[in-house]
Amino acid sequence: MAAPCRHVGHHIKRNGRFLRINLDQLFASRGLRWTSALQQQGEEVHEESKEPIVIPRKKSWSSEAVLEALASTVHRDPTAYPYQFQDDPYLSPRTSSEFKLFSLSQESGRAAAKYFVSNNPKFFTKDFAEPHIPCLMPESVTLRLEEVSEEALKERITLRKVSAAVEMYDQLLQAGTSVSMETTQELLDLICLYCDKNPVQEGAPEVEDAEEAGEETKRRKPKGRRAADHLRTSWKENNNAERIFNLLPEKDSRCYSALIRGMVKHGAYSKAFSLYTDLLNNRLSADVHTFNALISAVPDVRDKFNERWDLITELLNQMNEQKVRPNLLTFNSVLKALRRCGFLAKTYAPQTLNEMKALGIAPSLATYDHILAVFYKSGSSGPNNTDIIQDMLTELEGTSFTCRDPHDVYFFSSAMRICLDSKDLELGYKVHSLVEVGDNWRLLGDSYQQSVYYGRFFSLLCMMEHIDVVLKWYSRIIPSLYYPNPQGMRDLLQALDTDGRLDLLPTIWKDIKTLGHDNKVDLVEELLSLMAREEHSPEVQESFAACALDVKSVFDGRSSMEWSTSSLSHVTTLLLRANKLQQAWDMLLLFKAKNRVPSEVLLNNFLSVCQSSGAPKRAVELVQLAAAFCLPATPVLAKTALAEFQLTDEQRSILSEFEAAPEKETE
């Protein structure tokens, strides 16, 4: 493009005066490339001079528009390791337990670094980041203020030191200084949130007081359950929160709110309701969070379905009276409580939805999940009622969700459960396409929920789809998104069997080994029985025999795995079919070693293979082995061997002994 411009420049330099006159001629005659488009457009304009030129409005792009456009060209790579791990085969997890172990060890490394940084802040205070990055500065975890004052109390509250805060408050009260209402409210919030216990510090050893009665129960439970124990803390009678609350001269609605929500969170449901009645008696009004907590506690304070529903309606009416506007969580708690109201749910859930619509609150995935739970009870097969979920999915198609309720993550797995129960493949694909919209994959939940979802999806596919499609999905989601459990592998084997693709069994065996399921004896036995059931083409038989030898080495390598008669006979059959006589003979010796008896069919099979490969010595040994097992088939074997083989006299004499065996046995 530079050359024509140079020509123009040159021309302009030479004929400056004539330029303006000759400009049009110049453009027309030279036919410069960079004006040819304009020239064409000019011609068009001359032809259609009626049409006005519309200059489009200037588009404004966000600063990341280019990056987003580039990112949209790249899709998820199903062969890549999960991004949180290093890109190395030694360091990538192959089973779900390894996944958990590696991610937890990385987290604990980070926690260890944070511990060092917080405990030695003087080495990390130099700040050269511009702009300042607050999350990379050391956090203060140690208390600075030691004197008895409100600032010290506030500091303890911000650092979440529950017991120290309570102590400081008591000291302040004893000293006679009054604590401001706001600080007291924050203190109550803190105690109720953590149920009067210090939150577990990451990395620091737990120091538990010996006086609390709950301690003994904790010690009795095994160590592995400690995390779950801490989640299910129980509200103790007259703990610090209640004590401080009772000492307060005037209790306002925020204090009540903190107490009620804390009680509901930690299991003291009836107390929460009695405190609520106190609140009503004092003619105070509760806020929306308190009401949400109370509604969610309703099924635990009433037993009968209609009583529960009556209490919920009463609470909602009071909410209306107190002019408190419900939010999404209110309706979700109503639906969650309705789940435990039996047959009433089907009547009242649609009404609740209508109320939501009237108030203009958009439902979240948790709402839909509760509705699905109400209308589709697990276990009962309702193949005709897929209308509700069909309508739901059609309405939600293409929508991208954000998490607005912690319960949102259960939607996809329950939807997939319904698809699996009703064996509806199209529905399953619809649910999965909803997962693939935008960022909806984040709403699949933690790794356990994700594995449940993909497990159900994969079982549905194995049950209903053609094997080629199943294998396509298999390569797409395993193992990058999902590590199948033994049941999943069994479903896959069944799918292979149904569609007659048993030649793929050796590759599946390799995957089973990688996933760490080769120690599940029944899975391995099922694999062996599928391989040994029928005769296949010679190449397939060769691969099966190699696979069988691999299985044998796995069994030998692990002391916990026991050979059973069926697995031994399957392996032997497979080896015989591939004419591997020596290895098959080793297997028969293994029978003897493990005290299992080979079947007659197997021995006949062996004999025929010996005959086809011409190993008379083997045949004799076989008959001797059969005799050692005291099998009733021994004389028949001996007879066939004598008849069909070329034997030496010595061998003949041995065999004729065995021919006479039954008479010996009857004696």
Partner 1 sequence: MAASLSSSGCARLMTALARSSVLYNSFESRSLHVTAVCCKNQAARIRIGKGDKPLTYEQAHHPHQIAHRKGWLSQHTSNLKGVEGAAERTVEDVFIRRFMFGTFHGCLANEVVIKRRGNMLVVCALMLQKLPPQKFYFLIGYSESLLSHFYKCPVKLDIQTLRDKAVYKYL
In the complex, which residues of this chain contact partner 1 (CB under 8 A)? 85-88, 90-91, 93, 98, 101-103, 105-110, 112-114, 116-117, 123-124, 127-129, 133, 136-138
3-state secondary structure of 30: helix
Rounded least distance, CB 447 to partner 1, Å: 16
Residue 582 — φ and ψ, nearest 5°?
A: -65, -45
Residue 342 CB contacts under 8 Å (≥ 6 apart), including other chains = 305
Rounded least distance, CB 81 to partner 1, Å: 12
Q: Which is nearer to partner 1, 5 or 113 (CB)?
A: 113
On whether the CB atoms of residues 542 and 578 are closer than 8 A, the answer is: yes
For 476, other C-beta atoms within 10 Å of its C-beta total 13
Rounded least distance, CB 127 to partner 1, Å: 6
The dihedral sign for the CA sequence 142, 144, 148, 150: negative
Residue 612 — φ and ψ, nearest 5°?
A: -70, -30
Q: Which is nearer to partner 1, 91 or 145 (CB)?
A: 91
Token pair 């028949």 is found at 636
Q: Which is nearer to partner 1, 105 or 399 (CB)?
A: 105
> How many Cα atoms sit within 13 Å of 352 on the Cβ side?
30
Rounded least distance, CB 98 to partner 1, Å: 8
Q: Which is nearer to partner 1, 98 or 659 (CB)?
A: 98
For 564, other C-beta atoms within 10 Å of its C-beta total 15
Rounded least distance, CB 106 to partner 1, Å: 4
Q: Which is nearer to partner 1, 117 or 597 (CB)?
A: 117
On whether the CB atoms of residues 642 and 652 are closer than 8 A, the answer is: yes
Rounded least distance, CB 130 to partner 1, Å: 9
Q: Which is nearer to partner 1, 117 or 633 (CB)?
A: 117
Q: Which amino acid is at 362?
A: A
Token pair 């457009």 is found at 41
Rounded least distance, CB 202 to partner 1, Å: 12
Q: Which is nearer to partner 1, 138 or 342 (CB)?
A: 138
On whether the CB atoms of residues 562 and 522 are closer than 8 A, the answer is: no
What does the alpha-carbon distance between residue 598 and residue 600 come to, in Å, rounded to a whole number?
7
Q: What are the C-alpha distances in Å from 550 to residues 305, 506, 509, 541, 654?
A: 59, 10, 9, 14, 36
Q: Which is nearer to partner 1, 88 or 147 (CB)?
A: 88
What does the alpha-carbon distance between residue 287 and residue 266 come to, in Å, rounded to a whole number?
19
Q: Which is nearer to partner 1, 6 or 126 (CB)?
A: 126
Q: Which is nearer to partner 1, 4 or 93 (CB)?
A: 93
Q: Which two tokens stand for residue 489?
A: 């592998």
Q: Give the burial string for 449-474 (b: 16+ CB within 10 Å, else e).
A: ebbbbbbbbbbbbbebbebeebbebb
Rounded least distance, CB 139 to partner 1, Å: 10
Q: Which amino acid is at 315?
A: L
Does residue 4 have a cis bond before it (omega within 30 degrees)? Answer: no
The DSSP element (H or E) to which 332 belongs, if any, is: helix 328-339
Q: Which is nearer to partner 1, 124 or 448 (CB)?
A: 124
3-state secondary structure of 613: helix
Contacts 24+ apart (CB under 8 A), 32-37: 32/4, 32/7, 32/8, 33/1, 33/4, 34/1, 34/4, 34/5
On whether the CB atoms of residues 169 and 188 are closer than 8 A, the answer is: no
Q: Which is nearer to partner 1, 98 or 150 (CB)?
A: 98
Rounded least distance, CB 160 to partner 1, Å: 21
Rounded least distance, CB 407 to partner 1, Å: 31
Rounded least distance, CB 103 to partner 1, Å: 8
Q: Which is nearer to partner 1, 85 or 473 (CB)?
A: 85
Rounded least distance, CB 120 to partner 1, Å: 10
On whether the CB atoms of residues 569 and 602 are closer than 8 A, the answer is: yes
Rounded least distance, CB 433 to partner 1, Å: 34
Rounded least distance, CB 124 to partner 1, Å: 5
What does the alpha-carbon distance between residue 103 and residue 93 come to, in Å, rounded to a whole number?
9
Q: Which is nearer to partner 1, 103 or 611 (CB)?
A: 103
Q: Which is nearer to partner 1, 116 or 441 (CB)?
A: 116
Contacts 24+ apart (CB under 8 A), 278-283: 279/253, 280/318, 282/251
- CA 263, 264, 267 angle in degrees (round to 5)? 80
Among the residues of 250-304, which ranges form H helices?
Answer: 253-265, 269-281, 288-301
Q: What are the C-alpha distances in Å from 593 to residues 236, 453, 590, 657?
A: 62, 45, 5, 25
Rounded least distance, CB 135 to partner 1, Å: 9
Q: Which is nearer to partner 1, 110 or 472 (CB)?
A: 110
Rounded least distance, CB 105 to partner 1, Å: 4
Rg (the chain; Cα; Å)? 39
On whether the CB atoms of residues 586 and 564 are closer than 8 A, the answer is: no
What does the alpha-carbon distance between residue 143 and residue 125 come to, in Å, rounded to a whole number?
18
For 327, other C-beta atoms within 10 Å of its C-beta total 15
